[in-house]
């Protein structure tokens, strides 16, 4: 199977702000491989190093050590980004442009011929259900519409790899469902999707494999089904356990509590209490 | 170049979709037309004052448009996070700098063209002398000067975080050069060492924007400027703009993208 995305002993250090420690390790010896056609969930709590890893993959930040490759090309080369699409978290696109002007602008960067550009704009605006608003300035769009126009720009070059940073962040349930449908559709078309999300239910639904990182280190990597089988719990419980939370569910008044493994049984629908 | 032009097109679209340019143009037009409609002391040479006022307004408007448009370009990309999807495409930071420069400079040149067409019409109809060559040279030299100003402000936009502080500092520097630049060598002569060397160094380092101010040639019909002088002035501006853009790239390539 072709490796689309790869990191080798990736390490990113930053100068620690407001402390005398000198530097903070954001990503520590991260080794990842994402294969063609799979949907890969990149999970971790806030500050775990997900966005930093994505920033290295996209060439925004240089790695302190190690390497990252897209399609076998080192990410330091701009050409590595020719075949990818990227949707950042909460971006406000050029407000004075309309959706079709924005897509035309990005298509021009990829040197897509005009006839092909117009065809793709029509298809993408239909896909993200923004045909009715194609001639309206983006400043008039709702948050969900802005996120969908963001998804359309990420797809303008018909990318083989999509990198999505919390694509459903801040969206209402309907918006989240639409984004999830689009990811599912891309998966069916054979695209590779690498995305981070805090919506673990959604990750469980759409991802083939996941990696969980915490404090810059890879904690777990594997197929979703295998992890669920191994830990006998859903992805959310696995995630909480891996990042160091002890999940306990009060069964009845009193001090007794169930463990993570017990919680996964169907009859346990009670409120979970998390203790760090 | 394709990427640079694509980026430039977005900047130009931004300028003509914002109200700044229209406000300045209408203000210049209204003030000039009001001044032109009255006749002071039946002086037949009153049109010179009219030309002087119109050109002064054009200079002020050009600086306001150039500094105002350029100062917000890169900070706005970072603040709105549009820089992320942009740089996630096969676009280098050098191309972003070049594209922003090209866009701001072309947008200002287009605005200046409109102002000068208006000036030509006013002075031509009032004076009966269209002086197209002189006006074109004045327009061209002002475009060259605006190129240096745009590059200077672009450098400021990657150094100062807030567009407002960058715009204010740039405005003070540009006005300072325009008003005092030509006198700095005389000031240096009257200073003791080491201040003399310092003032001389500043005199030789700063781009002499005042050389591009040929308003008196236009107002007093002093004839066209030698083309070789125009060419040398253009080259001088091109060298300064290139140096400033290179400095901008050096700063921007290591700049974190988050504000």
Contact yes or no for A59 and B80 at CB 8 A: no
Distance separating alpha carbons of residues A46 and A31, to the nearest angstrom = 20
> Which long-range contacts (C-beta less than 8 Å, at least 24 apart) are formed by A181-187?
A182/A127, A182/A128, A182/A151, A183/A39, A185/A127, A186/A155, A186/A162, A187/A37, A187/A39
- The answer to whether the beta carbons of residues B111 and B204 sit under 8 Å apart is no
pLDDT of residue A175: 79
State the nearest Cα–Cα gap between A111 and chain B, in angstroms: 8
pLDDT of residue A166: 86
Answer yes or no: is pLDDT of B100 > 90.
yes
Each residue of A75-121: pLDDT tens digit?
Answer: 888 788 888 999 888 777 888 999 999 999 999 999 999 999 999 99
What residue in B sits closest to A108 (Cα-Cα)? Answer: B6
Residues paired with A274 in a beta bridge? A247
Answer yes or no: is pLDDT of A197 > 60.
yes
Answer yes or no: is pLDDT of B2 > 60.
yes
Contact yes or no for B13 and A96 at CB 8 A: yes
Contact yes or no for A108 and B6 at CB 8 A: yes
> In the structure encoding, which two tokens stand for residue A108, read together?
């021009």
Q: Which residues of B touch A87 (CB under 8 A)?
A: 85
* pLDDT average, residue stretch A120-133: 91
Strand A39-43 relative to strand A192-196: parallel, antiparallel, unpaired?
Answer: parallel
| Residue of B17, B85, B107, B253 for testing the chain A interface, max A β-carbons within 10 Å | B85
Is the Cα dihedral B60, B61, B64, B65 positive or negative? Answer: negative
Q: Which residues of A touch B82 (CB under 8 A)?
A: 91-94
Answer yes or no: is pLDDT of A263 > 90.
no
Q: Which of B105, B248, B88 is nearest to A109 (CA)?
A: B88
Distance separating alpha carbons of residues A55 and A48, to the nearest angstrom = 13
Each residue of B192-231: pLDDT tens digit?
Answer: 888 889 988 999 989 998 999 888 888 887 878 889 999 9
Which of A65-74, A198-207, B124-133 has the largest mean confidence?
A: A65-74
pLDDT of residue B104: 94
What residue in A sits closest to B10 (Cα-Cα)? Answer: A105
Q: Which residues of B touch A59 (CB under 8 A)?
A: 87-88
When mean pLDDT is compared across A30-39, A251-260, B141-150, the lowest value belongs to: A251-260
Distance separating alpha carbons of residues B189 and B226, to the nearest angstrom = 31
**Residue spans of beta strands (DSSP E) within chain B:** none
Mean pLDDT of chain A: 82
Each residue of B137-165: pLDDT tens digit?
Answer: 999 999 999 999 999 999 999 998 788 99
Distance separating alpha carbons of residues B183 and A266, to the nearest angstrom = 86
Each residue of B69-98: pLDDT tens digit?
Answer: 999 889 988 888 889 889 988 889 999 999
* pLDDT average, residue stretch A121-138: 91
pTM greater than 0.80 (yes/no): yes
pLDDT of residue A90: 74
Q: How far is CA B251 from each of CA A89, B38, B88, B126, B183, rounded to the nearest angstrom?
A: 26, 52, 20, 50, 31
Strand A39-43 relative to strand A209-214: parallel, antiparallel, unpaired?
Answer: parallel
pLDDT of residue A89: 80
Q: How far is CA B194 from each of CA A3, A215, A251, B199, B206, rounded to the nearest angstrom?
A: 64, 55, 83, 9, 19
pLDDT of residue A198: 84
Distance separating alpha carbons of residues A55 and A121, to the nearest angstrom = 27
What residue in B sits closest to A96 (Cα-Cα)? Answer: B14
- Judged on CB neighbours under 10 Å (0-12, 13-18, 19+), A22 is exposed
Contact yes or no for B10 and A79 at CB 8 A: no
Q: Count H helices and E strands in chain A, helices first.
A: 9, 13
When mean pLDDT is compared across A157-161, A195-199, B3-7, the lowest value belongs to: A195-199
Answer yes or no: is pLDDT of B181 > 90.
no
Contact yes or no for B89 and A150 at CB 8 A: no
Residues paired with A65 in a beta bridge? A11
Q: Which residues of B touch A163 (CB under 8 A)?
A: 88
pLDDT-derived band at A142 (thresholds 50, 70, 90) equals confident
Q: Which residues of B touch A82 (CB under 8 A)?
A: 90
State the nearest Cα–Cα gap between A147 and chain B, in angstroms: 12
Answer yes or no: is pLDDT of A12 > 70.
yes
Contact yes or no for A96 and B89 at CB 8 A: no
Strand A84-87 relative to strand A161-165: parallel, antiparallel, unpaired?
Answer: parallel
> In the structure encoding, which two tokens stand for residue B169, read together?
């500092």
At residue A136, the 3 state secondary structure works out as: coil
Answer yes or no: is pLDDT of B128 > 80.
no
Each residue of A15-34: pLDDT tens digit?
Answer: 776 656 678 888 888 899 99
Each residue of B5-27: pLDDT tens digit?
Answer: 999 999 999 888 888 778 888 88
* pLDDT average, residue stretch B115-136: 84
Contact yes or no for A96 and B18 at CB 8 A: yes
The four Cα atoms B17, B18, B21, B23 give a dihedral, to 10 degrees, of 120
Q: Which of A92, A57, A80 is nearest to A196 (CA)?
A: A57
Those residues of chain A whose CB sits closer than 8 Å to some CB in chain B are 55, 58-61, 78-79, 81-82, 84, 86-88, 90-97, 101, 105-106, 108-111, 150, 153-154, 157, 163
- Kindly list the domain boundaries of chain B, sorted by start residue: 2-253
Contact yes or no for A91 and B14 at CB 8 A: no
Q: Is cis: bond before B194, omega within 30 of 0?
A: yes
Those residues of chain B whose CB sits closer than 8 Å to some CB in chain A are 2-3, 5-6, 9-10, 13-14, 17-18, 80-82, 84-92, 256-257
Q: Which residues of B touch A58 (CB under 8 A)?
A: 84, 87-88
State the nearest Cα–Cα gap between B24 and chain A, in angstroms: 20
Each residue of B230-246: pLDDT tens digit?
Answer: 999 999 999 999 999 99
* pLDDT average, residue stretch B38-50: 71
């Amino acid at each position: 199977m072709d490796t689309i995305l790869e990191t080798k002993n990736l390490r990113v250090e930053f100068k620690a702000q407001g402390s005398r420690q000198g530097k903070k390790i954001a990503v520590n010896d991260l080794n990842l491989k994402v294969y063609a056609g799979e949907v890969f969930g990149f999970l971790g709590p806030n500050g775990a190093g997900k966005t930093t890893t994505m920033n290295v993959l996209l060439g925004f930040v240089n790695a302190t050590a190690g390497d990252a490759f897209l399609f076998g090309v080192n990410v330091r080369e701009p050409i590595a980004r020719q075949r990818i699409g990227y949707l950042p978290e909460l971006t406000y696109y050029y407000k004075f442009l309309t959706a079709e002007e924005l897509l035309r602008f990005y298509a021009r960067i990829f040197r897509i011929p005009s006839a092909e550009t117009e065809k793709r704009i029509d298809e993408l605006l239909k896909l993200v259900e923004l045909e009715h608003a194609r001639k309206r300035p983006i400043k008039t769009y709702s948050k969900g519409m802005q996120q969908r126009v963001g998804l359309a720009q990420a797809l303008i070059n018909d990318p083989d790899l999509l990198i999505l940073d919390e694509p459903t962040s801040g969206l209402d349930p309907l918006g989240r469902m639409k984004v999830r449908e689009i990811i599912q559709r891309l998966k069916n078309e054979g695209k590779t999707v690498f995305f981070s999300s805090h919506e673990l239910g959604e990750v469980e639904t759409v991802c083939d494999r996941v990696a969980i990182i915490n404090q810059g280190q890879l904690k777990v990597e594997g197929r979703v089904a295998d992890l669920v089988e191994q830990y006998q719990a859903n992805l959310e419980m696995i995630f909480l356990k891996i990042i160091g939370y002890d999940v306990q569910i009060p069964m009845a008044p009193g001090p007794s509590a169930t463990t993570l493994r017990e919680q996964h049984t169907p009859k346990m629908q009670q409120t979970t209490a998390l203790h760090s | 170049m394709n990427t640079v032009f694509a980026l430039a097109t977005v900047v130009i679209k931004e300028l003509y979709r914002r109200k700044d340019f229209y406000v300045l143009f209408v203000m210049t037009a209204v003030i000039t037309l009001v001044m032109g409609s009255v006749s002071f002391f039946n002086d037949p040479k009153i049109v010179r004052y009219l030309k002087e006022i119109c050109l002064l307004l054009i200079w002020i408007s050009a600086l306001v448009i150039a500094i105002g448009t350029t100062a917000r370009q890169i900070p706005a990309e970072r603040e709105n996070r549009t820089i992320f999807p942009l740089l996630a495409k096969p676009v280098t930071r050098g191309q972003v700098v070049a594209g922003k420069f090209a866009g701001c400079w072309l947008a200002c040149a287009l605005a200046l063209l409109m102002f000068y067409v208006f000036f030509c019409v006013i002075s031509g109809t009032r004076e009966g002398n269209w002086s197209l060559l002189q006006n074109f040279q004045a327009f061209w030299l002002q475009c060259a000067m605006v190129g240096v100003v745009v590059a200077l402000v672009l450098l400021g936009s990657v150094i100062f975080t807030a567009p407002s502080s960058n715009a204010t500092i740039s405005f003070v520097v540009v006005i300072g050069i325009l008003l005092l630049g030509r006198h700095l060598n005389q000031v240096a002569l009257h200073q003791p060492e080491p201040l003399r060397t310092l003032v001389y160094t500043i005199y030789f380092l700063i781009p002499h924007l005042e050389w591009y101010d040929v308003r008196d040639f236009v107002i007093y019909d002093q004839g066209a400027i030698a083309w070789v002088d125009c060419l040398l002035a253009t080259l001088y501006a091109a060298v300064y703009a290139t140096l400033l853009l290179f400095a901008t790239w050096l700063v921007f390539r290591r700049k974190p993208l988050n504000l």
